[in-house]
């Protein structure tokens, strides 16, 4: 039996292994009074967040601010068209070659790198996101559970776990059976035809209102179906069609709706092409990636733009340690006058690897005001300032940045690194604690705050701040331990 390792962890965390069937068990996130009532959007959000805490620690999770921010921009362009709900969304990518995407409770939408690479256009990728967004806004997950009469938080959590288990594993039934409620979860996991039709209909509307090519929705789903037939007998069909059953009827419905619309050509954004190139480079060995992009360049085979192929080649060369060749490609990129923060961070990374920290600082200092919302540029700038031994400049930057992005865990960690270089131990541990607290890693936050208490280099005011923060975090830990017990 193959079960995604993360799913195993979560099954244990949810206590489902030891306490079948659907009872609220020890180790569940604290869901308070809502636990016994119908799911409120806030409850769904908390379940989703607790599952995300685990996902972010999974090796498959793509912790790349450029890829994450691209997906979120694309997803938010779609979700901003929704007027009737104020649901928040968070999009993330997982390194996995299978073609899949999934929605979890609370608006968390995961996309496999395989699906991003298989999309032939940005509208195709957008169509999958639009479909998933619609499952969330229509609250299909909660409705599935309410329909099954198991209105328990545990079952929503179990469902989230099963979604993860089903991501890549062809052995969903086995994975779910372990949870002691195999059939129930499997039925829940397959969205019903009605839900699928609803998600298609609403998804198409979102696509259209966001100015994507709606024809690409049926095109992509048809391609998924072909792909799925190819793999059917190998017991490794892509998860997408398993959890979103595609019927001829569905395709016909989409076709009818699309036919009445005027044809619209939508060019792919440069970011879409750069993100795909970056994902491709991270797949397999750098040498293979170099060979692939070199041959595309030699054939003048530019499915997107020449800039994206050169960007991919430069990234691959950089990963392969061929700095001079990467430098040449970056110069070619500049000659093409392509504009993207991803090109700025690439060049800065190259300068760092060449030992030219001052060069990296100069590039990112000039890029930062042009791309003030690009987190990768901000992170890169702090890292380059530290590399250039300019911790005071780095500290000033992190302080200003955290005013605008107080819940950015990574920036708190970078600030901790900055304080470490400045030899300020109390502040170092305090910043580290904030990062952990934001990631939901409360025991780690407690440890850091205790280290801050013992640092010996704070003033009275700083120590009392640390003391009161420690009390708050400990209270949160205690609250989370106070959960409904299994009965
Ligand atoms: Zn679906």
Over the stretch 258-298, which tens digit does the pLDDT of each residue have?
887 777 788 999 999 999 999 999 988 999 999 999 999 99
Determine the distance separating the centroid of ligand 1 and the alpha carbon of 200, expressed in angstroms: 8
Determine the distance separating the centroid of ligand 1 and the alpha carbon of 131, expressed in angstroms: 6
Determine the distance separating the centroid of ligand 1 and the alpha carbon of 246, expressed in angstroms: 8
Alpha-carbon span 362 to 365, nearest angstrom: 5
Residues in the chain: 487
> Residue 177: which of 20, 403, 365 has the closest Cα?
20
Cα distances (Å, whole numbers) of residue 22 to 48, 133, 149, 341: 18, 27, 11, 48
Ranges of the chain with pLDDT below 70: 1-39, 144-156, 158-159, 161-191, 228, 230-239, 242, 483-487
301-332 burial, b for 16+ CB within 10 Å, e for fewer?
A: eeebbebbbbbbbbbbbbbbebeebbbebbeb
Determine the distance separating the centroid of ligand 1 and the alpha carbon of 243, expressed in angstroms: 7
> Residue 422: which of 378, 390, 465, 387 has the closest Cα?
390
Determine the distance separating the centroid of ligand 1 and the alpha carbon of 80, expressed in angstroms: 20
Determine the distance separating the centroid of ligand 1 and the alpha carbon of 160, expressed in angstroms: 15
CB atoms within 10 A of CB 70: 23
At 107, give phi and psi (nearest 5°): 90, 20
> Residue 160: which of 31, 14, 26 has the closest Cα?
14
Contacts of 192 (CB under 8 A, 6+ apart): 144
DSSP class of 39: P
Per domain, the residue ranges of the chain are 5-259
Q: What residues form DSSP beta bridges with 67?
A: none
Determine the 3-state secondary structure of 453 from DSSP. Answer: helix
Determine the distance separating the centroid of ligand 1 and the alpha carbon of 141, expressed in angstroms: 11
Are 443 and 477 spatial neighbours (Cβ–Cβ below 8 Å)?
yes
Determine the distance separating the centroid of ligand 1 and the alpha carbon of 171, expressed in angstroms: 20
User: Which pLDDT score, from 0 to 100, does residue 96 have?
Assistant: 87
Alpha-carbon span 303 to 296, nearest angstrom: 9
DSSP class of 75: H
Alpha-carbon span 21 to 19, nearest angstrom: 6
Determine the 3-state secondary structure of 90 from DSSP. Answer: strand
Determine the distance separating the centroid of ligand 1 and the alpha carbon of 253, expressed in angstroms: 14
Side-by-side strand order, sheet with 101-104: 90-94, 108-112, 101-104
Determine the distance separating the centroid of ligand 1 and the alpha carbon of 130, expressed in angstroms: 10
Specify burial of residue 176 (Cβ count, 10 A radius: 0-12, 13-18, 19+).
Answer: buried
Determine the distance separating the centroid of ligand 1 and the alpha carbon of 234, expressed in angstroms: 23
Determine the distance separating the centroid of ligand 1 and the alpha carbon of 292, expressed in angstroms: 34
Determine the distance separating the centroid of ligand 1 and the alpha carbon of 365, expressed in angstroms: 43
Determine the distance separating the centroid of ligand 1 and the alpha carbon of 106, expressed in angstroms: 16
> Residue 207: which of 216, 198, 196 has the closest Cα?
216
Determine the distance separating the centroid of ligand 1 and the alpha carbon of 413, expressed in angstroms: 37
Alpha-carbon span 46 to 416, nearest angstrom: 28
Are 232 and 242 spatial neighbours (Cβ–Cβ below 8 Å)?
no
Determine the distance separating the centroid of ligand 1 and the alpha carbon of 196, expressed in angstroms: 5
Looking up tokens 């996101």, which residue turns up? Answer: 129
Are 442 and 476 spatial neighbours (Cβ–Cβ below 8 Å)?
yes
Determine the distance separating the centroid of ligand 1 and the alpha carbon of 91, expressed in angstroms: 16
Determine the distance separating the centroid of ligand 1 and the alpha carbon of 35, expressed in angstroms: 26
Contacts of 401 (CB under 8 A, 6+ apart): 378, 408, 411
Specify burial of residue 386 (Cβ count, 10 A radius: 0-12, 13-18, 19+).
Answer: buried
Over the stretch 416-427, which tens digit does the pLDDT of each residue have?
999 999 999 999
DSSP class of 371: S
Specify burial of residue 238 (Cβ count, 10 A radius: 0-12, 13-18, 19+).
Answer: buried
User: Which pLDDT score, from 0 to 100, does residue 156 have?
Assistant: 66
* Concatenated DSSP letters of 373-429: T-HHHHHHHHHHHHHTT-HHHHHHHHHHHHHH-TT-HHHHHHHHHHHHHHT-HHHHH
Determine the distance separating the centroid of ligand 1 and the alpha carbon of 134, expressed in angstroms: 8
Contacts of 34 (CB under 8 A, 6+ apart): 40, 42, 43, 153
Are 212 and 87 spatial neighbours (Cβ–Cβ below 8 Å)?
no
Side-chain-side CA neighbours of 55 within 13 Å: the count stands at 27
Alpha-carbon span 439 to 443, nearest angstrom: 11
């Amino acid at each position: 039996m193959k079960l995604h390792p993360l799913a195993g962890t979560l099954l244990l965390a949810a206590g489902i292994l030891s306490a079948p069937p659907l009872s609220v068990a020890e180790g569940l996130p604290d869901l308070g009074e809502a636990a016994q009532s119908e799911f409120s959007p806030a409850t769904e959000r908390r379940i989703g967040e607790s599952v995300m805490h685990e996902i972010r620690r999974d090796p498959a999770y793509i912790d790349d601010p450029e890829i994450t921010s691209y997906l979120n921009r694309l997803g938010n362009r779609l979700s901003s068209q929704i007027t009737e709900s104020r649901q928040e969304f968070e999009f993330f990518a997982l390194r996995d070659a299978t073609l899949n995407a999934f929605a979890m409770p609370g608006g968390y939408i995961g996309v496999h790198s395989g699906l991003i690479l298989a999309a032939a256009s940005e509208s195709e990728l957008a169509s999958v996101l639009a479909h998933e967004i619609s499952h969330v806004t229509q609250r299909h997950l909660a409705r599935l559970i309410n329909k099954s009469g198991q209105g328990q938080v545990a079952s929503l959590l179990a469902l989230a776990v099963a979604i993860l288990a089903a991501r890549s594993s062809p052995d969903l039934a086995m994975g779910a059976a372990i949870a002691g409620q195999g059939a129930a979860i499997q039925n829940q996991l397959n969205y019903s035809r009605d839900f699928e039709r609803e998600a298609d209909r609403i998804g198409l509307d979102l696509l259209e209102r966001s100015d994507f090519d709606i024809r690409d929705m049926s095109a992509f789903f048809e391609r998924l179906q072909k792909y799925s037939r190819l793999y059917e007998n190998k017991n490794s069909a892509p998860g997408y069609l398993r959890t979103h059953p595609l019927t001829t009827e569905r395709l016909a419905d989409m076709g009818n709706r699309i036919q009445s619309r005027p044809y619209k050509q939508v060019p792919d954004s440069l970011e879409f092409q750069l993100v795909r190139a970056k994902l491709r480079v991270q797949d397999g060995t750098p040498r293979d990636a170099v060979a692939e992009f070199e041959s595309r360049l030699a054939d003048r085979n530019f499915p997107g733009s020449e800039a994206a192929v050169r960007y991919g080649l430069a990234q691959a060369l950089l990963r392969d340690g061929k700095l001079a060749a990467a430098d040449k490609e970056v110069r070619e990129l500049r000659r093409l006058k392509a504009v993207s923060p991803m090109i700025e961070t690439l060049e800065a990374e190259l300068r760092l690897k060449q030992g030219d920290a001052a060069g990296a600082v100069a590039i990112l200092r000039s890029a930062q005001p042009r791309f003030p919302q690009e987190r990768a540029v901000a992170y890169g700038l702090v890292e380059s300032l530290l590399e250039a031994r300019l911790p005071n400049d780095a500290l000033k930057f992190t302080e200003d940045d955290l005013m605008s992005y107080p819940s950015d865990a990574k920036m708190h960690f970078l600030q901790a690194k900055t304080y470490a270089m400045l030899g300020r131990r109390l502040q170092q541990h305090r910043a580290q604690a904030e990062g952990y607290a934001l990631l939901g890693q409360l025991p780690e936050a407690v440890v850091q705050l205790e280290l801050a208490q013992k640092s010996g280099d704070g003033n009275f005011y700083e120590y009392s701040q640390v003391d009161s923060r420690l009390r708050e975090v400990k209270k949160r830990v205690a609250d989370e331990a106070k959960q409904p017990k299994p009965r």
